[in-house]
């Protein structure tokens, strides 16, 4: 669960940040190209949508999770962890990672 509040922007502010006309932003909201939250007769756009459209990523941590159902599958668990860590190294270069693993039946 995310504890940080997401900042919501008006369409005019989003338009300035993206270099668009406010009517274009409103049209994109109606077309579903931009996610927005209705607020009365207006809509507010999360800052994360602006970052997505600009191709920016928030600094954060990637959590890698590997799981098997029994102790007899420890080798499979190690293989999963290695594959996940290699993926993170190649696909998410420079980001912090944390690896969690679990052995359990899931029942």
| Residue 69 annotated to the active site | yes
Marked catalytic residue, from 35, 69, 101, 105: 69
67: left (phi over 0), alpha (psi -120 to 50) or beta: beta
Q: What is the mean pLDDT of residues 45-56?
A: 87
Residue 17 backbone phi and psi in degrees, to 5: -65, -35
Span 68-106, pLDDT tens digits: 998 899 999 999 999 999 998 888 777 888 999 998 866
Q: What is the pTM of this model?
A: 0.51
> What residue spans define the domains of the chain?
8-54, 61-103
pLDDT band at 57 (very low <50, low <70, confident <90, very high): low
Residue 58 confidence (pLDDT): 64
Residue 91 confidence (pLDDT): 82
The DSSP code sequence of the chain is ---SPPPEE-HHHHHHHHT--HHHHHHHHHHTSS--EEETTEEEEEHHHHHHHHT-----EEEEEEEESSGGGHHHHHHHHHHHHHHHHHHSTT-EEEEEEEE----
């Amino acid at each position: 669960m995310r504890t940080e509040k997401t900042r919501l922007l008006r369409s005019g502010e989003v338009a300035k940040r993206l270099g668009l006309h406010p009517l274009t932003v409103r049209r994109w909201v109606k077309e579903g190209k931009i996610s927005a939250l209705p607020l009365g007769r207006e809509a507010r756009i999360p800052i994360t949508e602006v970052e997505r459209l600009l191709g920016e990523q928030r600094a954060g941590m990637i959590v890698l999770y590997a799981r098997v159902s029994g102790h007899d599958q420890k080798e499979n668990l190690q293989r999963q962890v290695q594959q996940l860590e290699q993926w993170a190294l190649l696909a998410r270069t420079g980001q912090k990672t944390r690896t969690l693993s679990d052995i359990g039946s899931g029942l």
